[in-house]
Each structure stands twice: as C-alpha cells, then as structure tokens.
Amino acid sequence: MSNGPWQPRGQGPRNPNPWGSGPSGGGGREPPDLEDILRRSQDKLRRVLPGGGPGGEGGGLSKLGAVGIAFLGLLAVVGWMLTGFYTVRPNEMGIERVFGRFAAITAPGLNWNWPYPIGRIDKPTIGVQTIEIGLRSGAGPRGGVRDIREESLMLTGDENIVDVDFSVLWLVDARRPQDFVFNLKSPEATVKAVAESAMREIVGRRDIQPILTGARLEIERAVQDLMQKTLNTYGAGIIVQQVQLMKVDPPAEVIDAFRDVQAARADQERAQNEAQTYANKVIPEARGEASRITQRAEAERERMIADARGEAARFISILDEYQKAPAITRQRLYLESIERIYGGMDKIIIDQGKQQNGVVPLLPLNDLMRRSANGQEKR
C-alpha cells in the first residue's frame, strides 16, 4: 500500500485522518469533538443557572442548552446594538446612512444609528478650512513658506507670465452636508483643482498691468464667483467664503526688468500729469481770452449795426423833410455842411453880396474872437 499525503514515507500504512491516528491510537492527535465540547458547556451552564439540579440528561439538557444559546444570542444582539451609539463634536456634523442610503443629519452630541453593517456614520468638519495654491506655509526651510511654481505661474491675456500665490477659505454647506459626503471623493483636491482652474481663467482674460496694480479685489471676487458656480454644478455642498491673493509678481527671472518698466511707466504717468496740469491752467485762460474777444466783437458789431440803423433812419427823416420842402432842406443841408467844415477855423467869412452895408470893414473881428477865446480858457 502506498503512503498518503499525511503519512511520511516508511512509517506504515496511510492514516485516513489528517489530524492524527484513529480511535485505536497512534502518533497523531485527534480533532476536537464538537458534541463533547457542547456537552461540557451545557454542564457548566446547568451548574450556574437555576433549575439545573439532578435530573435526566435528555430533555432537560436540551432545554438548558437552548436557553443558554438564546441568552448568548441576546447578549450578542444587545452588544451589537450598543455599538450604534456615536458622538458628534461641536465642529462636526453627523451624516447617518442606512444600507448605504442617506438617512438623517444629526447635531453635535450623543446619537444612535444602526450599527455596521446596516448603518454608517460620516462626520464632516463644518469649520472654515484653508487651501493654499502656489505656496505651502511651514513647508520651507526653518518653517518658512515654500513656493510651488508649477501651481503659481499663469499666462495673462497679453501673453505675459505672472506668478500668483493665493489661498481659498471654504467650508461645508450646513444646509446640504450630504452632498459633500456623497458627491466628492477627495474634497480638498477638488477645491484645489477648481481654485487653480478658476484663477487661471480669470488671469487669462486680463492684461498683466491691471493684475499687478489695481485689479486685485476685482480678481478675488471674480475667482470666488467662478469657483462657487463650478462647485454648485458639481453638487459639492461647499461654500467658498473668500479668495485672498497673497502675492502677484512677475517671474523671478524677469522681475528686475519689470521693475524698470514700472519705473518708466511711473515717469510717463508723472509727465502726463504735469502736462495735464499745465493744460488745465492754460486752456481755461485761452478760453477766457477767446470769449472776451468774441464778446468785444459782438459788442462792436451791435454798435456798428445800431449806428448804421441810426444813420439810415436820419437819412430817411431828412429825405421825408426834403420831399416836403426841397428849397428849405437844401439850404439847411448847406448851412450844416458849412458849419461842420468851418466850425473849427479862426476865419470869418462874410458874404458881401448880401450883407455889404452891415459890417464895418476895419472892425478887428479876429482879435476880438481871440480875446474872447482866451477869456473863456482863463475862466
């Protein structure tokens, strides 16, 4: 007879029992007898439990064993139910599951849910959390800040490169924490990826100059709104509380050249401001002078128009008088013309044809007129 797998070669016939020799004995060990173990356990329970006095070993022993097994099962069930108690901390919120489905939201304190494997508890933190993009605080030498350039270098709308370090403050939406638990596998990685994508999109829409100077607040608000919109489409159950720009600079390799450009632009703005100041001073003066000349010309035009109208009216009135009495009007015009022509002369003209006998020839009229004029000047 050949040796079996449980019997070494050369040591006799094969033993059909792998745990040892059969009832007749041998070198191996017999397997434990389950009936014997159960009988001994029943004997011990009969000694401990009341009503376990001497009696028949048949029905009494069976009943006692059934009661013991039921009691142990009850203890096991009670112990399993007690494992369903759990505690939620003040900065947490309990999410109960039953057979994998969302059941309820529990407040901080002691609560109970069906134990595993029927129930499950998730406890997301509801406090404000911070994610840094482009830098890691406390990760540098001596606990400083380490720059992560693969996250911070971004392309602007005018095809320049800018180094942007920022942080995002976010928290779980207390109204729908189940979305945070069920819809996100890696919440922090998701928030970080959405924040970096939103910042790259907002920076890519703008030129580098506003990004480096006065558009920080606008960029922060735009990134926050875009992040919140994206996370809402994911059903993430996350509220983006704030976006903070920590550093916005050109890359380190060209920062000196950018500073020179900034200085040149500052000089340009200063020169433009000075020119604008001079223009603001000269232009109003020129406008005032032009207005004054215009007003003077308007006044002169009005005067000349009025004089012309007066002369025309006077001529019309003379014409009317002339038409009424032509001879008298001609005589009047003659006299007025002679008076206007000779009014400033020191000569006396006498019409001898008409007033020949009325004037003494030797009368010194010129001297008398001079004396009269001198007397009036002295007065």
Q: What is the mean pLDDT of the chain?
A: 77
- pLDDT mean over 321-332: 80
From the list 173, 172, 174, 232, the residue with the least C-alpha distance to 198 is: 232
Confidence band, pLDDT 50/70/90 cuts, at residue 348 = low
Q: What are the two backbone dihedrals, phi and then psi, of residue 44, each rounded to the nearest 5 degrees?
A: -65, -45
Q: Are 206 and 155 spatial neighbours (Cβ–Cβ below 8 Å)?
A: no
From the list 352, 346, 354, the residue with the least C-alpha distance to 373 is: 346
Q: What are the two backbone dihedrals, phi and then psi, of residue 102, each rounded to the nearest 5 degrees?
A: -65, 130
Question: pLDDT at residue 293 above 90?
Answer: yes
Secondary structure of residue 286 in the 3-state scheme: helix
For residue range 98-151, what is the model confidence (pLDDT) as tens digits? Answer: 887 887 788 888 888 888 888 888 878 788 899 999 888 876 566 677 888 888
- Amino acid making up residue 304: M
Question: pLDDT at residue 364 above 70?
Answer: no
Using a 10 angstrom Cβ sphere, with 0-12 exposed, 13-18 middle and 19 or more buried, the burial of residue 262 is middle
Using a 10 angstrom Cβ sphere, with 0-12 exposed, 13-18 middle and 19 or more buried, the burial of residue 223 is buried
- pLDDT mean over 345-370: 61
- From CA 197, how far away is CA 2, in angstroms rounded? 75
Question: pLDDT at residue 77 above 70?
Answer: yes
Q: What is the pTM of this model?
A: 0.51
For residue range 228-285, what is the model confidence (pLDDT) as tens digits? Answer: 999 999 988 899 999 999 888 888 777 777 778 778 888 898 999 999 998 888 898 8
* Confidence (pLDDT) at 341: 81
- Amino acid making up residue 320: D
Going by C-beta distance under 8 Å and a sequence separation of 6 or more, which residues neighbour residue 70?
Answer: none
Beta-bridge partner residues of 97: 102, 120
Percent of the chain residues past pLDDT 70, beyond the cut? 73
Residue given tokens 């000196």 in the structure block: 256
The DSSP code for 141 is G
Residue 238 host element (H or E): strand 238-249
- pLDDT mean over 49-63: 52
- From CA 8, how far away is CA 113, in angstroms rounded? 56
* Confidence (pLDDT) at 15: 44
- From CA 161, how far away is CA 29, in angstroms rounded? 80
Q: Are 166 and 249 spatial neighbours (Cβ–Cβ below 8 Å)?
A: no
Confidence band, pLDDT 50/70/90 cuts, at residue 63 = low
